[in-house]
Amino acid sequence: MKKNELAGKIAVVTGAAGGMGQIIAKQLAEHGAVIAAIDQNENELVNSTKIWREKGYHVTAFPADISDSAAVEEVISKVESDLGPIEILVNIAGVLRLGTIETLSETDWDISFAVNATGVFHVSRIVSKYMVSRRSGSIVTVSSNASHMPRMAMAAYSASKAAATMFTKCLGLELAQHHIRCNIVSPGSTDTKMLRKLWKDENGAQQTIDGQLEAYRVGIPLGKIGSPSEIADAVLFLVSDHASHITMQDMVVDGGATLGV
Protein backbone atom coordinates (compact mmCIF):
# COMPACT_ATOMS: atom_id res chain seq x y z
CA MET A 1 0.00 0.00 0.00
CA LYS A 2 1.06 3.56 -0.68
CA LYS A 3 1.67 5.63 2.44
CA ASN A 4 -1.22 8.04 1.84
CA GLU A 5 -3.70 5.56 0.43
CA LEU A 6 -6.08 6.06 3.37
CA ALA A 7 -5.53 9.81 3.55
CA GLY A 8 -8.32 11.59 5.40
CA LYS A 9 -10.45 8.50 5.99
CA ILE A 10 -11.99 8.29 9.45
CA ALA A 11 -11.17 4.93 11.04
CA VAL A 12 -12.63 3.68 14.32
CA VAL A 13 -10.34 1.22 16.09
CA THR A 14 -11.57 -0.56 19.22
CA GLY A 15 -9.09 -2.02 21.69
CA ALA A 16 -6.67 0.67 20.53
CA ALA A 17 -4.78 0.72 23.84
CA GLY A 18 -3.89 -2.98 23.61
CA GLY A 19 -0.74 -4.36 22.00
CA MET A 20 -2.25 -5.41 18.70
CA GLY A 21 -4.71 -2.52 18.70
CA GLN A 22 -1.89 0.00 19.06
CA ILE A 23 0.02 -1.44 16.11
CA ILE A 24 -3.02 -1.57 13.84
CA ALA A 25 -4.08 1.98 14.77
CA LYS A 26 -0.51 3.19 14.19
CA GLN A 27 -0.25 1.57 10.76
CA LEU A 28 -3.62 2.94 9.68
CA ALA A 29 -2.47 6.40 10.79
CA GLU A 30 0.83 5.98 8.92
CA HIS A 31 -1.20 5.43 5.77
CA GLY A 32 -3.10 8.67 6.31
CA ALA A 33 -6.20 7.58 8.22
CA VAL A 34 -7.70 9.77 10.93
CA ILE A 35 -8.02 7.48 13.94
CA ALA A 36 -10.81 7.41 16.51
CA ALA A 37 -9.15 5.24 19.16
CA ILE A 38 -11.57 3.46 21.48
CA ASP A 39 -10.66 1.53 24.63
CA GLN A 40 -12.01 1.19 28.15
CA ASN A 41 -8.49 1.62 29.58
CA GLU A 42 -8.61 5.40 29.58
CA ASN A 43 -5.14 6.06 31.04
CA GLU A 44 -3.34 3.80 28.59
CA LEU A 45 -5.44 5.11 25.70
CA VAL A 46 -4.71 8.75 26.50
CA ASN A 47 -0.98 8.06 26.93
CA SER A 48 -0.78 6.18 23.63
CA THR A 49 -2.75 8.85 21.81
CA LYS A 50 -0.43 11.55 23.12
CA ILE A 51 2.62 9.70 21.76
CA TRP A 52 0.98 9.19 18.37
CA ARG A 53 -0.03 12.84 18.09
CA GLU A 54 3.52 13.93 18.93
CA LYS A 55 4.64 11.87 15.92
CA GLY A 56 2.22 13.77 13.72
CA TYR A 57 -0.53 11.15 13.46
CA HIS A 58 -4.17 12.20 13.51
CA VAL A 59 -5.41 10.19 16.49
CA THR A 60 -8.11 11.09 19.03
CA ALA A 61 -8.92 9.12 22.18
CA PHE A 62 -12.52 8.12 22.82
CA PRO A 63 -12.65 6.09 26.07
CA ALA A 64 -15.61 3.70 26.13
CA ASP A 65 -16.68 0.22 27.19
CA ILE A 66 -17.89 -1.56 24.05
CA SER A 67 -19.96 -4.01 26.08
CA ASP A 68 -22.25 -1.08 26.99
CA SER A 69 -24.54 -0.35 24.03
CA ALA A 70 -25.55 3.11 25.31
CA ALA A 71 -21.89 4.09 25.75
CA VAL A 72 -21.07 2.85 22.25
CA GLU A 73 -23.94 4.80 20.69
CA GLU A 74 -22.80 7.94 22.49
CA VAL A 75 -19.14 7.61 21.55
CA ILE A 76 -19.81 6.79 17.88
CA SER A 77 -22.11 9.80 17.64
CA LYS A 78 -19.28 11.91 19.09
CA VAL A 79 -16.79 10.53 16.57
CA GLU A 80 -19.13 11.44 13.72
CA SER A 81 -19.66 14.96 15.04
CA ASP A 82 -16.05 15.65 16.08
CA LEU A 83 -14.07 13.95 13.32
CA GLY A 84 -16.44 13.29 10.44
CA PRO A 85 -18.03 10.38 8.58
CA ILE A 86 -16.66 6.98 9.60
CA GLU A 87 -15.38 5.01 6.60
CA ILE A 88 -13.45 2.25 8.37
CA LEU A 89 -14.15 0.17 11.47
CA VAL A 90 -11.68 -2.30 12.94
CA ASN A 91 -12.99 -4.40 15.83
CA ILE A 92 -9.95 -5.42 17.86
CA ALA A 93 -11.00 -5.21 21.51
CA GLY A 94 -10.91 -8.62 23.13
CA VAL A 95 -10.37 -10.51 26.37
CA LEU A 96 -8.94 -13.95 27.11
CA ARG A 97 -10.34 -15.94 30.02
CA LEU A 98 -8.84 -19.40 30.37
CA GLY A 99 -10.21 -22.49 32.09
CA THR A 100 -11.52 -25.94 31.34
CA ILE A 101 -15.27 -26.13 30.95
CA GLU A 102 -15.45 -27.81 34.36
CA THR A 103 -13.66 -24.93 36.09
CA LEU A 104 -14.71 -21.98 33.92
CA SER A 105 -16.80 -19.51 35.87
CA GLU A 106 -20.01 -17.99 34.58
CA THR A 107 -18.39 -14.58 34.99
CA ASP A 108 -15.50 -15.53 32.72
CA TRP A 109 -17.95 -16.86 30.14
CA ASP A 110 -20.15 -13.77 30.31
CA ILE A 111 -17.22 -11.32 30.09
CA SER A 112 -15.75 -13.21 27.13
CA PHE A 113 -18.98 -12.89 25.17
CA ALA A 114 -19.71 -9.34 26.38
CA VAL A 115 -16.47 -8.04 24.85
CA ASN A 116 -15.48 -10.50 22.12
CA ALA A 117 -18.92 -11.02 20.60
CA THR A 118 -21.52 -8.58 21.94
CA GLY A 119 -19.04 -5.71 21.81
CA VAL A 120 -18.46 -6.40 18.12
CA PHE A 121 -22.23 -6.46 17.64
CA HIS A 122 -22.74 -3.12 19.42
CA VAL A 123 -20.02 -1.22 17.57
CA SER A 124 -20.64 -2.76 14.15
CA ARG A 125 -24.39 -2.25 14.30
CA ILE A 126 -24.14 1.42 15.26
CA VAL A 127 -21.28 2.30 12.89
CA SER A 128 -22.94 0.48 9.99
CA LYS A 129 -26.08 2.60 10.39
CA TYR A 130 -24.01 5.65 9.50
CA MET A 131 -22.26 3.79 6.68
CA VAL A 132 -25.57 2.64 5.16
CA SER A 133 -26.74 6.22 4.80
CA ARG A 134 -23.61 6.94 2.78
CA ARG A 135 -23.56 3.57 0.95
CA SER A 136 -19.86 3.11 1.65
CA GLY A 137 -17.56 1.61 4.24
CA SER A 138 -15.31 -1.25 5.31
CA ILE A 139 -15.49 -3.26 8.54
CA VAL A 140 -12.85 -5.71 9.72
CA THR A 141 -13.21 -7.86 12.83
CA VAL A 142 -10.02 -9.25 14.33
CA SER A 143 -11.07 -12.71 15.48
CA SER A 144 -8.77 -15.70 16.12
CA ASN A 145 -7.78 -18.98 14.56
CA ALA A 146 -9.24 -20.43 17.76
CA SER A 147 -12.63 -19.82 16.12
CA HIS A 148 -11.66 -22.49 13.58
CA MET A 149 -10.24 -25.15 15.87
CA PRO A 150 -11.13 -26.53 19.34
CA ARG A 151 -8.64 -25.44 21.99
CA MET A 152 -8.06 -26.92 25.43
CA ALA A 153 -9.06 -24.54 28.26
CA MET A 154 -10.19 -21.90 25.74
CA ALA A 155 -13.89 -22.69 25.31
CA ALA A 156 -15.11 -19.20 26.24
CA TYR A 157 -12.56 -17.46 24.04
CA SER A 158 -13.00 -19.78 21.07
CA ALA A 159 -16.79 -19.75 21.21
CA SER A 160 -17.00 -15.96 21.57
CA LYS A 161 -14.58 -15.43 18.70
CA ALA A 162 -16.53 -17.89 16.53
CA ALA A 163 -19.67 -15.88 17.29
CA ALA A 164 -17.94 -12.64 16.28
CA THR A 165 -16.70 -14.27 13.08
CA MET A 166 -20.11 -15.50 11.97
CA PHE A 167 -21.80 -12.25 13.01
CA THR A 168 -19.37 -10.32 10.79
CA LYS A 169 -20.11 -12.62 7.84
CA CYS A 170 -23.86 -12.19 8.33
CA LEU A 171 -23.38 -8.45 8.60
CA GLY A 172 -21.42 -8.50 5.37
CA LEU A 173 -24.21 -10.33 3.60
CA GLU A 174 -26.82 -7.83 4.77
CA LEU A 175 -24.68 -4.77 4.02
CA ALA A 176 -23.42 -5.86 0.59
CA GLN A 177 -26.40 -4.16 -1.08
CA HIS A 178 -25.15 -0.89 0.44
CA HIS A 179 -21.60 -1.42 -0.91
CA ILE A 180 -20.20 -1.99 2.58
CA ARG A 181 -17.61 -4.75 2.93
CA CYS A 182 -17.21 -6.83 6.09
CA ASN A 183 -14.25 -9.16 6.58
CA ILE A 184 -12.38 -11.01 9.30
CA VAL A 185 -8.71 -11.40 10.15
CA SER A 186 -8.02 -14.43 12.36
CA PRO A 187 -4.54 -14.34 13.90
CA GLY A 188 -2.83 -17.34 15.38
CA SER A 189 -0.13 -17.09 18.06
CA THR A 190 1.05 -13.49 17.83
CA ASP A 191 3.72 -11.80 19.96
CA THR A 192 1.51 -9.81 22.33
CA LYS A 193 1.11 -9.54 26.10
CA MET A 194 -1.92 -11.81 25.82
CA LEU A 195 0.18 -14.61 24.32
CA ARG A 196 3.12 -14.14 26.68
CA LYS A 197 0.80 -14.61 29.66
CA LEU A 198 0.27 -18.18 28.45
CA TRP A 199 3.99 -19.00 28.53
CA LYS A 200 5.21 -20.74 31.68
CA ASP A 201 8.92 -20.01 31.16
CA GLU A 202 11.50 -18.68 28.72
CA ASN A 203 10.84 -21.64 26.44
CA GLY A 204 7.24 -20.59 25.85
CA ALA A 205 7.79 -19.26 22.33
CA GLN A 206 9.54 -22.40 21.12
CA GLN A 207 6.93 -24.63 22.74
CA THR A 208 4.23 -22.69 20.89
CA ILE A 209 6.08 -23.10 17.61
CA ASP A 210 6.64 -26.83 18.23
CA GLY A 211 3.03 -27.51 19.29
CA GLN A 212 1.66 -29.53 22.20
CA LEU A 213 0.62 -33.10 21.51
CA GLU A 214 -1.13 -33.43 24.88
CA ALA A 215 -3.29 -30.40 24.02
CA TYR A 216 -4.06 -31.67 20.50
CA ARG A 217 -2.31 -28.62 19.14
CA VAL A 218 -0.07 -28.79 16.10
CA GLY A 219 2.86 -26.44 15.81
CA ILE A 220 3.39 -23.55 13.43
CA PRO A 221 4.59 -24.82 10.02
CA LEU A 222 6.32 -21.55 9.15
CA GLY A 223 8.39 -21.97 12.32
CA LYS A 224 7.83 -18.59 13.95
CA ILE A 225 5.50 -16.59 16.15
CA GLY A 226 3.49 -13.98 14.26
CA SER A 227 4.09 -10.27 14.79
CA PRO A 228 1.37 -7.66 15.36
CA SER A 229 2.58 -5.83 12.25
CA GLU A 230 1.79 -8.92 10.14
CA ILE A 231 -1.77 -8.85 11.45
CA ALA A 232 -1.92 -5.11 10.76
CA ASP A 233 -0.81 -5.71 7.17
CA ALA A 234 -3.76 -8.05 6.64
CA VAL A 235 -6.16 -5.49 8.11
CA LEU A 236 -4.70 -2.72 5.96
CA PHE A 237 -5.18 -4.81 2.84
CA LEU A 238 -8.81 -5.59 3.63
CA VAL A 239 -9.80 -1.97 4.34
CA SER A 240 -7.99 -0.71 1.24
CA ASP A 241 -9.23 -0.40 -2.34
CA HIS A 242 -7.01 -3.39 -3.21
CA ALA A 243 -9.73 -5.51 -1.55
CA SER A 244 -12.64 -3.70 -3.19
CA HIS A 245 -14.28 -6.96 -4.34
CA ILE A 246 -13.67 -8.92 -1.14
CA THR A 247 -16.32 -9.33 1.53
CA MET A 248 -17.45 -11.96 4.07
CA GLN A 249 -13.98 -13.52 4.01
CA ASP A 250 -11.97 -14.83 6.96
CA MET A 251 -8.24 -14.36 6.43
CA VAL A 252 -6.33 -16.66 8.79
CA VAL A 253 -2.87 -15.33 9.62
CA ASP A 254 -1.29 -18.07 11.73
CA GLY A 255 1.72 -19.43 9.88
CA GLY A 256 -0.29 -22.50 8.94
CA ALA A 257 -1.06 -23.53 12.53
CA THR A 258 -4.65 -24.54 11.72
CA LEU A 259 -3.56 -26.28 8.51
CA GLY A 260 -5.89 -24.20 6.37
CA VAL A 261 -9.04 -25.39 8.13
Helices (H) and strands (E) in the chain, counts: 9, 7
Q: Quick one: how far is CA 42 from the chain centroid?
A: 18
Q: Can you name the residues that pair with 111 across neighbouring β-strands?
A: none
Amino acid identity for residue 126 in this structure: I
Looking at the chain, list the stretches that DSSP marks H as alpha helix, in order from N- to C-terminal side: 19-30, 42-54, 69-82, 106-113, 119-134, 155-175, 193-196, 204-210, 228-239
Name the active-site residue from 57, 130, 157, 216: 157
What is the dihedral angle through the alpha carbons of 7, 9, 12, 17, rounded to the nearest 10 degrees?
10
- Residue 237 has φ and ψ, to the nearest 5°, of -60, -45
Residue 157: active-site member: yes
Nearest C-alpha neighbor of 235 from the set 180, 163, 184, 168 = 184
Quick count: other Cβ atoms within 10 Å of Cβ 241?
Answer: 10
Question: What residues are annotated to the active site?
Answer: 157
